[in-house]
Structure formats: structure tokens, C-alpha cells
Amino acid sequence: MFTEVLVALAIGGLIFFLVQKSRTPVLKTEDGWWGAGAPPDGVEDISIRPFKVTTSDEELEDLNRRIDQTRPTPSLEDSQFNYGFNSQYLQEVVSYWRNDFDWRRQVDKLNRYSHFKTNIEGIDVHYLHVKPRNVPEGSTAVPLIMVHGWPGSFYEFYGLIPLLTEPSDPQDLVFEVVCPSIPGYGFSEAPHKKGFDSVCAARIFHKLMKRLGFHKFYAHGGDWGWLVTTNMAQLQPGVVKGLHVNFAPNSRPGLSMVLSVMLGRRFPKMFGFTDFDVRRLFPCVDKLVVEAVKETGYMHIQATKPDTAGRGLNDSPVGLAAYILEKFSTWTSPDFRNLEDGGLTRKFSLDDLLTNVMIYWTSGCIVSSMRFYKENFGRGLNQPHSRVPVYVPTGYACFPNELMHTPKLWVEHKYRKLLTYSPMARGGHFAAMEEPRLMAEDIQNFTKTVEKKKK
């Protein structure tokens, strides 16, 4: 009898272990309220309201007056972009902004797609919803949410959207795209309370997609969009059919990652490192430290005292442009620091760059966008979401000039179902805006891979 009990307990324990092991760990979260004051007692407003970007003579007159009153300061000789945005070139950008840039025309371009707002957890969430014009007979559009980062906006995806919703290749999938503005960015209302981090944004975007009738969908993100969409996959892995990202830093290195750092330069094949991995991962220590110091000062400011620096940027359009556009220079290619014009128009047009700046200026969102760093870093790096692996099928687009290089081994440490890892031919941090065609191709290939496996 005793032996039978032991056997039963052993079998039961084994079954329990296997069941627990088979369960996909999920990230836990609770509903929040981010509106001003206390939450109302009434029924939640779930209405969806059309929204249009607008401007006025008063808005443009105020902008021009502030630009005219800017106080230029000379750059050091032979400094290019190594001290920040070069002042001589900034004057050229400002002159174009003041005399040639047509904001009204860009407003019409922004309104090319349908914009909406809906209230979730007490704040108005802005988003684009782009439905394809033509879906091949016998197929359905693939729902996809795309999330931007800082100092970008939903406008980053304007070159990518038509490639996904109106693909030229009849063999390609047709996507139905939702592009929200992270609360506190662009035309989404800023949270009125402390604590709104990436997990809160992920929870709100899940509610948004459900409100739009999508019970399963794909997600794409870079920069903060990488973390928000990753959190979406961690919160509801059964809802996110596939996750595609082009940024994947890892704050919790495992043993394999630590060993790869220690031994990877000498034994690269042991860790699957390519020649490119070795070149990116193993410069001298001094160079790594210096590069980190050069490019992370903004992060320390925004993760500690965003309201102080942000107030000045909110008052000065020229200061705001310099602060934002400097990132579009150095984050596109570190070599651009050595150019007088920062290489800005080598990959982007001034019209597109200034449109992104104007979204920040006209919405007055720079301070609240910077606070997102405070909310995410203020609680330390050891957050619950950093300890939860992602078991949703994942694709990673590895652009060569990304701020942080993440080899395949490191991506797999976090994303346990990595289906595609694509070394891209060119491109940097703002890849969706810089190389929309390459990004569209990789999203297509990844999604086809997931759909094929499901069939």
C-alpha cells in the first residue's frame, strides 16, 4: 500500500511538473486610471471618434515669432556634430523651416490616413487605422499594430504603411494597419498620474485592438515600440500571433550571453557569431565606454529630471528641433557626427524631419514623451517583464547601424521562438522611416513564415 502511494505521488508530481512546464508564463498587470482626478462612477466611454490634424494662422504666427527671436550661438571650429547639432547647419535648417517648409501641406499629408481617438483608462488614445483598398479574393487582411519610439512618432511609418496595405507583389500578404501614439506622445493624451510605463502602454494597446474588433493580430516595434510590443506578447501570448522587432537590447544576460562576451572574440563559431557580430561586439573597452558616454547623455536627463530640460524645449522650437534632429543624425549612422550637416538629408528629407518635429511642437508633448524614460527606468532594470521570456513567434531585423547590436544568440535568450533573424543590408535606428522597403520585406517574410507554420 505504501509503495502504491509513493508511485501515485511520483506520477502526480511528474504530471504537475509537465503541466507547469508546458504553461507559457505570462506577465501580470492590473487596470489603471490615468485621467485627471478620481475615476468616474459611470459607465466607461468606449466610443471611437474621428480625428483630424489641424493648424491655424495663430499657431503658425506664434511659431514664426519664436523662430525669429532665436539667439544663435556659433559652433566651435571643426566640430561638425561632435558637440551636438552644429549651429551653422542649424541656421540653414531653421531658415528652411521659416521660409520654405509648408506645414499646411504636411497636415494634408498626415490626414491622408484615417485618424481616430478613443478613451482608455481615462486618457484619449490617438491612432491611425489604415484598411487595405483591395484584398485578394479568398483571403483576409492581416491585422498589424505598429508602435513607434522616441523621438519619433506615428509619422515614422508613413513610408511603410502603403507597402504593407497595398503590396505590389500579388504573392504578398495584405495588412490592415493600426498605428497608435504612445500616451504622452503626438496626439495621444499624456497620463496625469505617475507610473505610466511600457507595460501600461501595452495593456492599453491590447484594449485598443480588442475595441477595434481584433482578437488576434501581429505586432511590430522599434525603440520604445520594441518594449511595448514585447510586453504585449508577454501579457497575452495567445492574442499576439507574431512579434516583429528591429531593436532588442537585453537587460538580464544569461550564462550563455556572459560566456559569449568572455569567449566570443576568440571562439566566435562556438556562439554562432558572424564576422559582423565580432566587429560590433568586440572593439576595445575604452571605445565602448566612450561611445556610451557620447550617446546616452539624453537618457540620464530624461530618466531623472525630464520636466526641467523639457520645459525649455517646449518653449523654443529651434531648441526642440536641435534636440530631436540630432538623434536622427547620429542614430542613423555614428559616422555622421563627422559631417558639417550631420548627414541629415542623406537618408531623410527636411520636410519629413520637420513634420516629425512639428508633431511634437504642435501637440506640446516633448515633456510627457521624455517622462516615459523616468517611468521605465525609475524602478530599476530588474522589472517583472525583464524576467519573463517571450514565447510568441518572433522575427528580428538586424540593421547594421542600430545603436546596440544584438547577435542571434542574445535575441534567442529573450525570444524563445525566434523564427527569423535577418541581417539587413543597410539602415540604422529609425529603420522604418529610413528603409521602409527593407522593413516591409522583412515583415512580409516573417509573417509568411508564421502563417505557413500555423497551416
Q: What is the pLDDT of residue 35?
A: 96
Which pLDDT tens digit goes with each residue over 77-110? Answer: 999 999 999 999 999 999 999 999 999 999 999 9
Which pLDDT tens digit goes with each residue over 223-273? Answer: 999 999 999 999 999 999 999 999 998 766 677 777 777 777 777 877 788
Which among 373, 396, 415, 421 is annotated as catalytic? 373
Residue spans per domain, the chain: 48-252+283-454
User: Can 126 be counted among the known catalytic residues?
Assistant: no
Mean pLDDT within 422-445: 98
Q: What is the pLDDT of residue 15?
A: 43
- C-alpha torsion angle, residues 16, 20, 21, 24 (rounded to 10): 160
We find that the CATH architecture of domain 48-252+283-454 is: 3-Layer(aba) Sandwich (3.40)
pLDDT at 147 over 60: yes
Is 102 in a helix, a strand, or coil? coil
From the list 328, 357, 354, the residue with the least C-alpha distance to 342 is 328
Evaluate whether 205 touches 145 at the Cβ level (below 8 Å): yes
Q: What is the pLDDT of residue 251?
A: 60
What distance in Å separates the CA atoms of residue 52 and residue 117, rounded to the nearest whole number? 10
More confident: 266 or 37: 37
What distance in Å separates the CA atoms of residue 284 and residue 231, rounded to the nearest whole number? 34
Which among 124, 172, 197, 223 is annotated as catalytic? 223
Is 85 in a helix, a strand, or coil? coil
CB atoms within 10 A of CB 141: 17
User: Can 300 be counted among the known catalytic residues?
Assistant: no
Cell numbers at residue 74, please? 556659433
pLDDT band at 22 (very low <50, low <70, confident <90, very high): very low
Q: What is the pLDDT of residue 414?
A: 94
What distance in Å separates the CA atoms of residue 418 and residue 410, rounded to the nearest whole number? 11
Q: CB neighbours of 22 closer than 8 A, spacing ≥ 6?
A: none
Q: What is the pLDDT of residue 288?
A: 64
More confident: 295 or 431: 431
What distance in Å separates the CA atoms of residue 251 and residue 33, rounded to the nearest whole number? 28
Which among 115, 126, 244, 429 is annotated as catalytic? 429
The proportion of the chain whose per-residue pLDDT surpasses 90, expressed as a percent, equals 79
User: Can 286 be counted among the known catalytic residues?
Assistant: no
